[in-house]
Amino acid sequence: TITTGNHRHQITSLHKTRGLTLPHLARQLISLHAQRADVAAQVETLVQAHPHVPGPDHACPGSGVPAAAVLLAETLGKTSSTGAQLASYAGLAPVTRRSGSSIRGEHVSHGGNKRLKRAMFPSAFASLRSDPVSRAYYRHKRDQGKPPWARPSSPWPTIAS
């Protein structure tokens, strides 16, 4: 219980402020959700209209509009003539550790474009589940004795293709 008038006044002011603030914040949140939906629709339209994005009948399983948008945004202005160059830029290609005269084999790259790598991984694993060509390629690499991290799920597409 509150015995002084000052405390009672402060609590009353807090309730009035909360009554004004919460509805305002709720309206802002609703507005932000609407803006987010508008931006998502615009991004989807831009991605689908891009000349390097295949149509729905040629799309890579598991790579939707968000992954394609990241791929396009992160490779804008970059030129990769091969899939290996794109994989290296993304940090998906294995690297050989060398120190002076010792060569310690291939390891997972910790460099590269993190956003691009994060966007490509889920679609690569989805293609293993749904695409017979990717699954056959993965099995071929596994049968060659490649470690799991050195087995790409599918040949990486070039930007030009």
Render pLDDT for 94-148 as a digit per residue (tens, 0 to 9). 777 777 776 677 777 788 888 888 888 787 788 788 888 888 888 888 888 876 6
Average pLDDT, rounded, for the chain: 75
Torsion of CA 62, 116, 45, 43, to 10 degrees: 120
Please report the pLDDT score of residue 108 as a whole number.
73
**What's the average model confidence in pLDDT over 17-38?**
87
The structure tokens 């991290």 sit at 149
The verdict on pTM exceeding 0.75 is no
**Integer Cα distance of 134 and 152 in angstroms:** 9
Residues 6+ apart with CB under 8 A from 27: none
Confidence grade of residue 155 (pLDDT, cut at 50, 70, 90): very low
**Integer Cα distance of 122 and 71 in angstroms:** 13
103 phi, psi to nearest 5 deg: -115, 120
